[in-house]
Structure 1
Amino acid sequence: MNDSIETGRRERKRQQTLDHLSDIAWQLFEAEGFDTVTMERIADRADVAKGTLYKHFPVKEALLRHHFHRELARGVPDLLQALASLPTTEAQLREFMRHGAAWAEAHKKYLLPYVQFRLSEPRTLKGEQRSGLDRIFARFIAQGQASGELRQARDPQQLAHYLEFLYLGAMLRWLLLDGITLETEYQQMLDLFFHGLVRGEQ
């Protein structure tokens, strides 16, 4: 058998296993609460050995990561296509953040453990372990540089890295502080990213 075919088959089977375990975990989280559900409960409901579950997902937060990143992968292409009709990169990125804030509001009870887990992970993760936000931000920035909206003083990947952490900082403020809205936090964060703190000429 061709090695590439066999490799592809193994990868598809691995992905199916990851998706199955994540789906079962999400069902339990929604029905019983994230804090209540144990890894043993997930393995039992998924009808797999505990070792199999831990091989793919060492902690519950990793199951959240997989579920959320699948949602992002499914929804973002259509969203980006819709945003392309807006006239400027800044307008597109602001609308992207509005959609992100609405999504986060619907998933708020899970986001603090998710974000804390993501910040504890090494930055060398690949594939489904990465959210892909850095690539999305880099795409917006490169587009803005190509159109002349943004200065080309820095590499898009570097700026995307900065923007990703501003984004996480805004989310953490919203999660930890009372009386603020995430959409407002995101828009203020983008004000800082696009326009900085230095006052222009009067």
Structure 2
Amino acid sequence: MNDISTELGRRERKRLQQLDHLADTAWTLFEAEGYEAVTMERIAAEADVAKATLYKHFPVKEALLRHRFHRELRDSVSQMGAVMAAEPVGAARLAKFFALSAAWSEAHRAYLLPYVQYRLAERRCPDDEAQRSGLERIFTALIAEGQAAGQFRADMGAPALAVYLEFLYLAALLRWLTGQAPALQAEFDTMLMLFLGGLEVRA
């Protein structure tokens, strides 16, 4: 049994290494030659793999972006957590996350529109955890902290609220990327205000 587990673990490590290699090769080409100019065939040749191998793992260029961006987010979770932990529990920590996200998004703007459109076009959440962004998990944790501290309403579960927030986040990104919002940080601020306060006018 241990031999089987070890072999499965080795195969999974090799698979993830290949995914990283393909995504990193594509990213290097995107940066050097421009996203639109780079073809899947070019990526396969540069990565020294058969086209069928590339398409098996990544059917389109946007899937390569997804892998690269989601890995960056996973790798930065600990550092972001330390920064957010310096803020009070609740709205301030959510606001800090969106400030960090705005800075990252500004640096990656050239690639974000195809990525966001691809994510929204996916019919369901990928079963492979490596293909998921991790945003839902981050939002769930931040909302749950706020609920436990009495800062957020607790009549809805944190996971459900996190799903709402993730789609508001993607909508704000899209407005900025398509020129409907001139400043991403201001758009995030407005989005978060609406999420926290709702639309209803209160006396």
- Normalising by the smaller structure, the TM-score range is over 0.9
Separation of aligned partners in 2, 1:87 and 1:133: 20
Partner of 1:103: 104
Gaps of 5+ in 1: none
* SS state at 1:2 partner: helix
Aligned length: 201
**TM-score normalized by structure 1?**
0.96
Partner of 1:116: 117
Q: Does 1:139 align with 2:141?
A: yes
Bigger shift: 118-127 or 89-98?
118-127
1:66 is matched by which residue type in structure 2?
H
2:97 is matched by which residue type in structure 1?
F
Shift in Å, 1:82: 2.0
> CA deviation digits over 1:152-197, x for unaligned, max 9?
1101111000000100110000011256111000010000011111
Runs of 4+ aligned residues of structure 1 deviating over 3 Å after TM superposition are: none
Of 176, 180, 185, the residue aligned with 2:182 is 180
Identity of aligned residues (%): 57
Separation of aligned partners in 2, 1:136 and 1:88: 14
Equivalent residues in 2 for 1:19-38, closer than 5 Å: 19-38=20-39
Shift in Å, 1:83: 1.0
Shift in Å, 1:77: 1.5
Gaps of 5+ in 2: none
2:95 is matched by which residue type in structure 1?
R
> CA deviation digits over 1:15-66, x for unaligned, max 9?
0000000110000000000100000000000111111111111111000000
* Contact kept in structure 1, 2:90 and 2:142, CA below 8 Å: yes
* Contact kept in structure 1, 2:125 and 2:132, CA below 8 Å: no
Cα RMSD (Å) = 1.1
**TM-score normalized by structure 2?**
0.96
Shift in Å, 1:108: 0.5
Q: Does 1:7 align with 2:8?
A: yes
1:181 is matched by which residue type in structure 2?
A
Separation of aligned partners in 2, 1:150 and 1:175: 30
Equivalent residues in 2 for 1:77-92, closer than 5 Å: 77-92=78-93
Separation of aligned partners in 1, 2:66 and 2:125: 15
